[in-house]
Structure 1
């Protein structure tokens, strides 16, 4: 009798896990929707400041089953369009993006265990930049990082002097 009870509990757990997987990947639309964010560690600049870029990626589902990808990068006090912007199609657990600026297709993959998106972007130490979903719980953290990036860029020693010297040696 105990064998049958254990088998029933295992079967219920497997059905529950399979149902959760189906909900996350098929019914809820999977990870390819909403806004996700991450931080790219760009290393240390000449004045000793730790330089980071805030990466935000917004996925919007279209009626034709494609996904519009809008990638923004906070670099210093500017927010610029990122290289991941374009139109994507779901291919298994990956999103394959045709970049808006043209060029080679880019693939993003979703890690179901850590609930993060792995990108082809790399940090200064060559590790991958990962994205997490933007929620109300982590929005303040993201905005704090954005503020720090802007503050570092506005330090006088980090301003780039583009004037030409009139003196010649």
Structure 2
């Protein structure tokens, strides 16, 4: 029988920040961007590598921001009860301090906004609407006084943002049309 050696995570180390951002979930944001880009190539015969990369980075940055807000909000609300299954929460484990977490969430909102502005320049008003709503909902999914995740609308918004908005928004950025 193999013995499993658990790696000790030092506070504020690279591993701690990775646990806080949860890169294992980034595929959730990347998949619809890949689908929208594939549709643009298949249906319109066009796609732009730079637009794909900017869209991908924008989507992944919102996913990372949402993950960090989730981690921070759970600890702030003292919602962690020790029965968690899945990825550990970095703030609850003490790997990331709450003040550093709050600063990183603010920094990530700035990064998301910068990608949003770039994509708005490329895609115009439809992308402005998607970008603003994505940033707000990405934060409010677990943050704020009434997190969306605790309402009946949580899963519906996940479907809308990761399905409809992400795929059609990516298609729009590539083609400036809807099909």
For the criterion TM > 0.5, the same-fold answer is no
Rg larger for:
1
Query: Which structure would you say has the larger RCO, counting Cα contacts within 8 Å and 6 or more residues apart?
Result: 2
More helix per residue: 1 or 2?
2
More strand per residue: 1 or 2?
1
Q: TM-score, normalised by structure 1?
A: 0.31
